[in-house]
Amino acid sequence: MRSPKTDLAYGAPLPPLLAKELAEILSGRALWTMLLLICPLIGFSFVEAVSLYSEASAAALQSPAAAATLSPLDGILVPTFGSFYVAVTLLFPFVAIRVLGQEKESGALRLLVQLPYRSSTLILVKLAAILAAWAAASIPVLSTLVIWALLGGHLGASETANLLFGHSLYGLLVGAISLFAATISDSSATAAIVALATTIGSWVLDFTVAGRSGLSTWVAQLSLTQTLHSFEQGLLSLGLVVGIVGVIGGLAALSTVWLPPGIPMRVKFARSVACAMLTIVALGIATQIRTSVDVTEDRRNSFAPSDQKLLATLRLPLVITVNLAPEDPRYIDLRRNVLGKLERAMPNISIALAGSRQDQAGKSDAYGEIEYVYGGRSDVSRSTSPREILPLLYALAGTQPPAPMPGAEYPGYPLVANADVTLIWFFCGLPLLIALAWWRSHLPPAVKSPKLEGGQP
């Protein structure tokens, strides 16, 4: 065979590369520093959350109705993971950038790209290392789950797993942004500026466009913070997952395009445009996927089971026209209490917003009305409560409201506990263990073979 061997181009084993990437992250200071910094942050958030939850529980212990409003997802998990979200937004880019930034700065990238791996393989392995780094960084927040359970608190398996899944996707998204920033930047410092401009820029975007309509609403949906909202509400949205995975894939593809040197700029730009187009298509597909699962124990994103069952049998198209501006609190209520639940319960539903408040206010008194059309019959309501809207829909469908199913009530999980003592774990115990692991990871490796040490081949 005249050509050079193809296995010298792409045929190398993956484990050494993965081990190298993991060792690169562990040998740097960024991950360990992040771990040490987030311990007190997460510990303080957790103790505060337990304290507030206990106060609410103390009052609710006497009243089953009040107890039913107490969910550990809202009271403990979301606030505690919220502090982890802040840490991932602000600190994780520095960890993720390291997987490439160090090689760029030392010149080792020119060795890396000559190894017998495809550029896409190099990027995917680096993303895998970033995910592993996120998993390591989540140890403090995972320890809060153990402590909560030890305190006697309740953890719903599906809603906890869903929240963890959402945060892992967010971590990977921040990692993919950082990796792409490192790919296009000459130095780690520049890459950090690019990555932080994106992550912190999302916060600015949220504040700037909050309460606005039209294009601003669409722009606000591009904010990274949007990725976690559904998961925090206990929803597993397939469209959202596809969208986030699509963006991560797009960023990975862009990193693959920009990683290898020696390719003309115009070729890189042309390939980047193709990647961007494919990512936009993936996002477009994601917006059309309505499938989502309510994973909460209290079924807050669903109607009562009897209603869910009956609504699923209403096969004709239901058309809802909402004469409210998207930023109107009534629309936000309607969206949360009725429309979102109807979209998940009914097979054929379309919702139209009639326009903004400015459009509506001067023209008619119709602002605030919501029109429901089903099977050629229609009705209008101004209510945002399912107690009024569901009977209206059943009347349009010509069916009787279902009888409530017994035993489906959410009991709530009140707990009066004091977690102050756990601060010792977050301020002393865990940081000590992290420092110990850091020191251990920096010890020179044992040279196993006497041949190596003695130099006798």
Partner 1 sequence: MELLRVVDLAKHYGEEAAIAGVTFSAAPGEVLGIVGPNGAGKTTLLEATAGLVGTDSGDVFWLGEALPPSRRKAAMFYLPDGVKPYQERFTIEVLTFFGSVYRRSAADVASAIASLELQPVLRKRVSALSKGYNRRLLLAIGLLTPHRVLLMDEPFDGFDLRQTRNIVEVMRKAAGGGRTFILAIHQLADAERVCDRFILLAGGQVRGIGSLHELRTQTGIPDGSLEEIFLALT
CA dist list (Å): 310 to 3, 293, 341: 68, 18, 13
φ, ψ of residue 210 to 5 degrees: the values are -60, 135
**Helix %, strand %, coil % for the chain, to 5?**
65, 5, 30
First to last CA, the chain: 31
Q: Which is nearer to partner 1, 102 or 279 (CB)?
A: 102
By CB under 8 A, the residues from 104 to 133 that bind partner 1 are 106-108, 110-111, 113-116
- In 3D, which of 188, 92, 176 has the Cα closest to residue 128? 176
**18-29 core/surface letters (b: 16 or more CB in 10 A; e: else):** beebbebbbebe
Counting contacts by CB under 8 A, is residue 362 touching partner 1? no
| Spatial contact of 81 and 167, defined as CB atoms under 8 Å apart | yes
Counting contacts by CB under 8 A, is residue 453 touching partner 1? yes
Query: Can you tell me the distance from the alpha carbon of 349 to that of 342, in angstroms, rounded to the nearest whole number?
Result: 8
Neighbour count for residue 313 (Cβ, 10 Å): 10
Q: Enter the tokens of residue 445.
A: 């490796």
Counting contacts by CB under 8 A, is residue 444 touching partner 1? yes
Counting contacts by CB under 8 A, is residue 13 touching partner 1? yes
- In angstroms, give the least distance from the CB of 87 to partner 1: 23
Q: Which is nearer to partner 1, 12 or 395 (CB)?
A: 12
- In angstroms, give the least distance from the CB of 260 to partner 1: 8
Q: How many CA atoms lie within 13 A of 168 on its CB side?
A: 16
Counting contacts by CB under 8 A, is residue 440 touching partner 1? no
Counting contacts by CB under 8 A, is residue 382 touching partner 1? no
Q: Which is nearer to partner 1, 184 or 293 (CB)?
A: 184
Find the part of the chain contacting partner 1 (CB under 8 A) among 72-80, 100-108, 285-293, 339-347.
Answer: 100-108
- Encoded one letter per residue, x for contact with partner 1 by CB under 8 A and - for no contact, window 230-269 reads -------------------------------xxxx-----
- In angstroms, give the least distance from the CB of 15 to partner 1: 8
Counting contacts by CB under 8 A, is residue 9 touching partner 1? yes
Residue with tokens 């337990």: 50
- What residues make contact with partner 1 under the rule CB under 8 A? 2-6, 8-9, 12-13, 15-17, 19-20, 23-24, 27-28, 102-103, 106-108, 110-111, 113-116, 261-264, 444-445, 447, 449, 451-457
